[in-house]
Chains A and B, each alone.
Chain A
Amino acid sequence: MKPATKQFFFVTFLTAALALLFAAGLLSATSALAQTPEPDFDAINRVAQKMNCPTCAGINLADCRTQTCAQWREQIGDLLATGMSEQEVLDYFVNQYGTQVLQEPPKSGFTLTLWVLPVAMILLGAAILFFTMRKWTASRTAPATAAGVEAAPSPAAPAPPAASDDYLSQVENDLALD
């Protein structure tokens, strides 16, 4: 092979290699740009903590390790990435799967009773306690008051000696005689 031909092949090879390298670099840069942004795990957790695992009872979506919950958390991330607010994501899930997805039942409709009932029960208990205690107090003071009315002295007359005073003076007399 002539040196000129050799040089031609070398230059061609070098150009092709450089072009390939450039293309590869360009591709990786493009794919890096096309990648979706890292999900905000704190935001996902904040939403997930307000939700229930749909398939297991009493477990928070943020803590659950089932495949369903993993999918739901991923969905939360996807929705947040579209620009939805945390409340909008919660509303989406309620619309999609019903109010049972929420850790706290909504304060409207039938589920409002779940919020009102405990307060109502406490108030009812307090009312029962108040009326019962008032009745007890009244029944205990009433006989004493009645007795006080019968034995009440007139302001002009001196107070009559009580039965216990008679007994005491008798005892003292007996002692003095001894």
Chain B
Amino acid sequence: MEHTQTLPQQEQSSKTRNIVLFIGMLVIFGLVAVMAANLSSVESTDLQNQKAPEFTLPMFDMFEQDEVKLSDLRGQVVVINFWASWCVECYKEAELLEQAWQDYKGQGVMFLGVDHLDTEKEALKYMQQYGITYPSGPDLGDKISQTYAITGVPETFFIDKDGNIAHVQIGPIERPALYALLEKLVAQQPASAQGS
């Protein structure tokens, strides 16, 4: 009699144990998944030869435009430079980038400066100091930097006329490499033009 009463209790406790174990496994699996996602995070160089992620960059007040959308620049070569006023390495290429912008802006090349984790006051001082005139703006919420998975500043992305990332430059770029890349990208025909 006693034994027959304990059987449903045993079944009940076994069911509860299974539920607890299932929840436990689920939590552990979730944690492992989150950790794995963090470990396998994409780096900027992994984006090379891929479609450039879309973004809208708000402009500093000194520019006429309020914002620049990357998709609006399709058909042009786009040079996206991530920089910051506190970045010593950025000083090395600042004037060179401005010079290249002046040399190529009439040839279908657009330069965009994405100011990373910077204060506007210092950013404007920096732009004045190095005479930067190409469109630049703050990376609000650090969203563009995260989308492009930059590893630091300076980093420069060269986007071809089809909107693909042709080259990722980590660290400051030298004049010969910059001009060679621009020459090559300007000379390339977009895929749509090749097809017709």
Contacts and interface: CB of A to CB of B under 8 A. Distances in A.
A98 B122 CA distance: 19
Sort chain B's interface into a size bin: 20 to 34
B20 A128 contact: yes
Contacts of B61: none
Q: Is the interface of B mostly helix, strand, loop or mixed?
A: helix
Q: Is the interface of A mostly helix, strand, loop or mixed?
A: helix
A55 B88 CA distance: 13
A142 B6 contact: yes
Interface of A: 54-55, 66-68, 71-72, 74-75, 78, 95-98, 100, 117, 120-121, 124, 127-128, 131, 134-135, 138, 142, 145-146, 149
A66 B118 CA distance: 13
Given A128-B20, A128-B24, A75 B119 contact: yes
Given A68-B84, A71-B118, A121-B27, 18 more contacts: A55-B117, A67-B86, A68-B117, A71-B85, A74-B119, A74-B121, A75-B121, A96-B141, A97-B117, A97-B141, A97-B142, A98-B141, A117-B31, A120-B27, A124-B24, A124-B27, A131-B20, A145-B2
7 contacts: A55-B117, A67-B86, A71-B86, A71-B118, A98-B142, A135-B17, A138-B13
A98 B142 CA distance: 6
A128 B86 CA distance: 52
Contact of A149 (B2, B17, B20): B2
Interface string B10-41: 00010011001001100100010000000000
Given A68-B117, A71-B119, A71-B122, A100 B142 contact: yes
